[in-house]
Amino acid sequence: MLQIDDRITIEDWELTEQFTRASGPGGQNVNKVSTAVELRFEAERSPNLPDPVKRRLRRLAGRRWTNDGAVVIFVQDTRHQPRNREIARERLAELIRAAVHVPKRRVPTKPTKGSVRRRLEAKKQRGEVKALRKGPED
């Protein structure tokens, strides 16, 4: 069971792990031991995630979101399978925590009258300076 916060927990049946051989350092060991972890979380079918969280998770996951509604996290950071499993679960938890956070709605503001007046005066001054650069007319 993966505890996200006090309201959301991910059950073990929602997570599937596959182990493959990792690339990178490890010497001959890399050819024998499957240390890389592919963690798959069926987010679309999860009863523990509310719909708004699922929508935000889909947007945050990006390429890691599959067509069938799963989040796939691939980790091959270390040479140890248990540590890679921990890292994958931590990354999934962080991703879901980010999706739980509701972004603050931006309220558009108007410029103040004083700032509009100052901007127009600056434009007028700049125009006068440029007008003085012109040569005398014939």
Of the two residues 29 and 112, the one the predictor is more confident about is: 112
Does residue 8 surpass a pLDDT of 90?
Answer: no
Q: How far apart are CA 99 and CA 60, in angstroms?
A: 7
Q: What digits encode the pLDDT tens for the residues 61-104?
A: 999 999 998 999 999 888 888 999 999 999 999 999 999 988 89
Tell me what pLDDT residue 127 has. Answer: 95
Compute the average pLDDT of residues 8-14.
Answer: 82
Residue 53, φ and ψ in degrees, nearest 5: -65, -40
Does residue 137 surpass a pLDDT of 80?
Answer: no
Structure tokens at 99: 């999706």
Which domains are assigned to the chain?
2-100 (3.30.160.20)
Q: What digits encode the pLDDT tens for the residues 17-42?
A: 889 888 766 666 667 788 889 999 98
Q: How confident is the model at residue 113 (pLDDT cuts 50, 70, 90)?
A: very high
Which residues face 72 on adjacent strands?
40
Tell me what pLDDT residue 27 has. Answer: 67
> Whole-model pTM?
0.71
Does residue 109 surpass a pLDDT of 90?
Answer: yes
CB proximity list for 52: less than 8 A, separation 6 or greater: 102
